[in-house]
Chain A
Amino acid sequence: MSKFKNHNQSPDLLKKKYIFQNKMYSLIKYHSKNSIDYGNFIKKTNYDLKNKKLELFPFLPVRIFKEKELMSVDNNKIVRVLQSSGTTGSKPSKIFLDEENSRNQIIALNEIFKQIFKSKKRLPMLIFDKKPNRNDSNFNARLAAIHGFSLFGKDPLFLIDEKNNIKVHELDKFLLKNKSKDFLMFGFTSIVYEHLIQKEIIKNMNKEFSKGILIHGGGWKKMENLKISNYKLKETLKKNYGLKKIYNYYGLVEQTGSIFFECEKCSNFVTTKYSEILIRDRHFKILGKNKKGFVQLLSLLPSSYPGHSILTDDIGEIKINKECECFFKGTQFIIHGRVLKSELRGCSDTI
């Protein structure tokens, strides 16, 4: 373990990182053998396959999944295609999942969830969304999240009807039945924001939510326009609804399953045994703690497509908070938002 001279991390964590690194290394070798595109990419990057250091592992930019359909298994093994919503005017990302990869996503999500919520039995659940159409094999990030999280709930109630209205009557019944025991609430951040803060229908019902555990995440693009901080959102929800437990999560549709929950105490996101984070400057040099840069995410889950090491369009920062117990669980980090778009100069089209 002498390789790791990082005094900012506990021995247990260093051991975890060592194991992670080896697994990641095998995954890189696997994908370079099984995806011709990825194999070509590895050759061009001049990455030395003998090199096992995490920081030296190659990474694909997240935008490439919009440009190219990448697979590390035969086409006929694909059972599901995950799609990002895609900004207006741009193509969506496409992520190709086989049986095994889909299953591993669920297993990982399940494990991450249980570590945080510790509850053994499935809890009653409210979902801030419309009921998805089960027959759709083309999933987007939202449906994937709903699908994943609804597995932890008992008879989930989809709160929003086809006309984007709250099912007031059903909600009333649900709360009457469950308000005295723990129950789960889940939704995309932007949708939770819309129905619990912007609109006042639920607020005006004046109901008891203190036993609710709210999990929200995603929906970044919409939230950025609203310019409300995570802290403010949390405080407002606590004040208005008496909610006590609110968890924000962060993740990529390109790495579904290995998501990051925010620590209840220090509010940092924390990596798990499935994931790791690195921060890079604009020349892709590694940055240490407390420095803003590109977020590179590594996940052990992607097996049917080479999404195991991705340079995202997000700007983040690694934090070290030894006081908090999450310090012993993984790398702590925060997210600042998306990379700003640059305006291309030159004599192209006239507007």
Chain B
Amino acid sequence: MNNINFLVGKKTFKKKLLKPYDKEICSFLETFSSELNKVKNLNLYPDIKTLSFFCRAKNIEKFKKNFFKNNIDLRSGLGLVFHITPSNVPINFAYSLIFGLLTGNSNIIKVPSQNFVQIKIICDAINKVLKKGFNNIKKMIQIVRYQDNDEFTKIASLNCDVRIIWGGDNTIKKIRSFEINPRAFDLSFADRYSLSIINTQKLISLKSFEARRLAEKFYNDTYLVDQNACSSPHLIIWFGENNQIVKDKFWLNLSNVVDKKYDLTDDMSMDKYTKFCKEAFSNKLGSFKKYKNNVYTLNLRDIKKDIDLLRGNYGFFYQINSKNLKFLNKVINKKVQTLTYYGFQKKFFQKFFNNNLLEGIDRVVPIGQALNLDLVWDGYDLNKTLTRIIDIR
């Protein structure tokens, strides 16, 4: 086959099954984690740092305990997982691979065609670790890069037991035109929409270093991926009494973080401003305020059903005040994935979701954790979805 780069694994690929959370798998990931820690200039890649932290022994042990705690049944991996990972997130593919491995599956991973340096760093680390042994794992990983090679996609699709497609609705549609085995299934992570809720009352008493810390966390949820990840918020609900001073402080703090950390390009400034003008013409929305060209905010008068159309990039936020959450019943649709929050107890949401049956929202996490990929994602528990039960009675 032409134009295919095998970054990890050979062209001829035989799949191998191990038990979920098998010793060899866990040990491989731990070694991988320490290999990543040796990367030169690691500080330049916060995403690789996070990945290494994710694979550390303690965390894997925690996942393992969790798996066996919740699974009284005997479980086995499904076989071969074919992962199609998003083009514009450098390291999503690594998490997808880890989920496939932990559940005991073999994996073919198609990485973005764009040459992100992180991909090379991660694949180099995997290759180094595989040289130390791990003979079974060698048979469980094949990482490929290709563009416009339908033949590879076709064959991998036919051979796999699960196909994981990390979105873009258009990509999912396109990939679905390639047949899979009758027993196989698609796990597709489609385009999603996310929002935040902040308790204004709790912001009033924040010390300035705490307020800055909160702004940094919010920054990590949004600007790190140009506010374009499925779990990056586009809409902020200010909960409680309306308090302009508190809001201004929050946005100003954010703007300061952006000044320090974000590479705001001319193109981004233009894009945000053009988006603002488009919204301004329609006059459907309330007032507008920007904090340099770092942060744009648009007030909503009310929210209609298609909440997921309220979408910005590079730091463009819609906001609304609300004294209670009842209105969410009307506006939350299936597209909505993550609700990030500040100034609430977990209980508050447990009670709310117990009493209200919304169409969407699969995830409620504190601000700062929006992008933390986990084995529970988009409403699925991958521990279960990527394994099968052996039912013995």
Contact = CB atoms under 8 A, between A and B. Distances in A.
Interface of A: 37-38, 40-41, 43-46, 60-61, 63-64, 67-68, 282-284, 294, 311, 313, 315, 339-351
Chain B interface residue number, banded: 35 or more
Interface string B79-111: 000001111110010000000000000000010
Contacts of A348: 86-88, 167-168, 191, 228
**Most chain-A Cβ atoms within 10 A of its Cβ — which of B230, B265, B280?**
B280
B281 A68 contact: yes
B91 to A, nearest CB: 11
B327 interface: no
Contacts of B340: none
9 contacts: A40-B280, A282-B266, A342-B267, A342-B271, A346-B230, A346-B232, A348-B88, A349-B168, A350-B85
Given A283-B292, A348-B86, 11 more contacts: A40-B283, A345-B89, A348-B87, A348-B228, A350-B84, A350-B86, A350-B167, A350-B175, A351-B112, A351-B113, A351-B147
A282 B269 contact: yes
Interface in B203-239: 225-230, 232
A235 to B, nearest CB: 30
Given A40-B281, A41-B277, A283-B292, A349 B170 contact: yes
A349 B269 contact: no
B115 to A, nearest CB: 12
B214 to A, nearest CB: 22
Interface of B: 84-89, 92, 110, 112-114, 147, 165-168, 170-171, 175, 189, 191, 225-230, 232, 264-271, 273-274, 276-283, 287-288, 292-294, 313
A31 to B, nearest CB: 13
B166 A61 contact: no
A292 to B, nearest CB: 10
Question: A-side binding surface: helix, strand, loop or mixed?
Answer: loop
A350 B166 contact: yes
Contact of B265 (A46, A282, A345, A350): A282
A81 B244 CA distance: 45
Contacts of A346: 86, 88-89, 225-230, 232
A6 B85 CA distance: 56
B226 A347 contact: no
B230 A347 contact: yes
A67 B278 contact: yes
Given A61-B274, A61-B277, A64-B277, A347 B293 contact: no
Nearest to B86: A347
Contacts of A284: 269, 273, 293
A46 B298 CA distance: 13
A341 B267 contact: yes
Given A45-B280, A61-B270, A67-B274, A347 B167 contact: yes
B283 A64 contact: no
A283 B292 CA distance: 5
Given A283-B293, A347-B230, A350-B84, A311 B270 contact: yes
A43 B226 contact: no
A351 B264 CA distance: 25
Nearest to A61: B274
Nearest to A63: B274
Given A283-B293, A294-B266, A340-B266, A349 B274 contact: no
**Most chain-A Cβ atoms within 10 A of its Cβ — which of B171, B191, B267?**
B267
Contacts of A313: 270
Contact of B273 (A37, A61, A340): A61
Contact of B267 (A45, A68, A340, A351): A340
Contacts of B276: 44
B273 A311 contact: yes
A188 B87 CA distance: 38
Contacts of A61: 270, 273-274, 277
Contact of A40 (B166, B167, B282): B282
